[in-house]
Each structure stands twice: as C-alpha cells, then as structure tokens.
Amino acid sequence: MAAANGGPYTLQVLDRVCDVLDYLAARPATLTEVSTHLALNRSTVFRILVNLERRGLVQREGATGAYRLGIKLFEWGTQALHEQLSIERLRPLLDELATETEYTAQVWIRAGLEALCVDQVESPRDYRVVGRIGRRIELHVGAVGKVLLAFAPPRIQERVLAGPLVDALGRATEPAALRAELTRIRHEGCAVYTGEHRLISWAVAAPVVNALGAADAAVVVVAGAAEDEPPAPSLAQVRAAVLRAAARMSQALQFR
C-alpha cells in the first residue's frame, strides 16, 4: 500500500532512512534524539543506524554515542557535485581566462569544510604558479577559500567561524574580522588578496553559481611573486576578467 503522503512507489523504510540522514545533516545526534525527533520506535532507528554505519553512511562517536554523517556520503556528494558542475563545460572559459590574463586560472569547489581544486590552466609565463588538481585548503584561507565560504550556507560559515582560524602563514585570525571580510566579499562579489602565501603575489576569486542557485564553485586567477612584472595586466584588469569569467561560467551551468 502506498504511504499516505507518497505515490504508489513509496517505500516507507527508504523514507525513514532519508529522514534520519536529513536530521543528522543538521547536527550529530544520539539514538534517543533521532528517535524522539522523528517519532520513530527506538528499535527501528537503531536498525537503520546500524546498517547505515556498516555501509559508511554514518559514523558513531565513541565518547558521546552521537551519530554523524559518514565519509561515504561526502564521497558521493563530491562525485555528484563534479558531475553537476560539468568541468568539461567550463574548461573553454577557463582557457580563455588564462589566455586573457596570462596568469594561472583555476576552478575550485566547496567540499565539506574545505576548498578543492578541480581544474586548472597554467600561465604561459616561464615563471608561474603551478597548482595541483585535487589540492585542498581550509575555507577561511586565501581568496578562493574565502569566496566559497562567503557564499556558503550560514551553517557552514558558523562551523568555520567556530575555529580554530589560522591562515597560510600560520597567523591567527579573529572570527569577527573574518566575518567582516565575508560580508565585504558578498558585497563586492569577489575576493582580492595579496601576500597570504610566500609564493603567491596576489589572487582574485569570484563565485560560480550552479543551476540550483548555489555558489558551490569559484574561479580564481593567481599570480606568482615573480609574475606581476610589466607588461602584465593590472590587478584591476584581472579582477574585471575574473568577474566576467565567473558570470559566463554561471550562465553556462544554468543550462544542462
């Protein structure tokens, strides 16, 4: 028989599994908390959690007994984001940006509480920044990390702001100062940072909005310490180019 609020193909057990995962997505919770919140029998919730844990979809904290989402969901989510982001669709625009600015251009995505580099076109210069696809940084670090954080859901921002906050040079960052930076980035639509890394002279990043309206990706141009010599484009010119590229990439992702 179909569930009262579902169609003819509704599976009650699958609905319950999804309800449990939805609840744990907001916060770690104990068996009792999940059972109480969802108004489900403890034994039912226990069987669901045991099987989810066996498959790596949730994990149990030994000290508190609370359950949280597991790494397997992160792996699935990252793969889904890669497919939704459509790297192949953005590559021509990334090529154009690197050619226009003559600096290394990269696309990054937000993966949990980190930023992940998923594509790169290197600068044609002899001395240039060479990144690594697959590199991860914390969301509060650098231009691209802060852009992804500035446009992330509030719950992600609050988790990062809870600290600890240390930049690429090992300097501590005050939460209030970072919060003000994020507000400025949202207002300006991009992040421009200089001197945050000993090998990077400056970086300009802007958010890329996907078909769901989420800014889970960003495009960034980075210049090495020996790259910004004349006749290199000015920082203002690069900022304008990055904003144009981000807008075009966002538009490309609106159509599947």
Say which residue the tokens 């990077």 belong to: 200
Helix axes 142-150, 154-161, angle to 10 degrees: 130
CATH number of the domain that 221 lies in? 3.30.450.40
The overall longest dimension of the chain from CA atoms, in Å, is 73
Number of domains in the chain: 2
The whole domain housing 31 covers 12-69
Which of 47, 69, 91 represents a domain boundary (last residue)?
A: 69
pLDDT value at residue 3: 43
Structure tokens at 212: 């769901």
Which residue, among 40, 59, 61, has the nearest Cα to 50 in the 3D structure? 59
Region of poorest pLDDT, from 1-5, 94-98, 203-207? 1-5
What pLDDT was estimated at residue 200? 61
Digit-coded pLDDT (tens) for 122-171: 887 766 666 778 888 889 988 999 999 999 999 899 999 987 887 766 67
Q: Give me 43's structure tokens.
A: 């034994």
Name, in order, each residue with C-beta under 8 angstroms of 30's C-beta and a sequence gap of 6 or more. Answer: 64, 65, 66, 67
* Domain-embedded: residue 244: yes
How high is the pLDDT of residue 4?
Answer: 47
The answer to whether residues 123 and 224 belong to one domain is yes
d(CA 7, CA 74) in angstroms, rounded, equals 29
The CATH number of whichever domain residue 51 belongs to comes to 1.10.10.10
Lowest mean pLDDT among 91-95, 168-172, 195-199, 238-242: 195-199
The region of weakest confidence among 54-58, 123-127, 176-180 is 123-127
Q: What is the DSSP string of 90-103?
A: HHHHHHHHHHHH-S
Closest by CA position to 216, among listed 91, 101, 118: 118
Give 210-250 pLDDT, tens digit per residue. Answer: 777 788 899 999 887 555 555 577 888 999 999 999 999 99
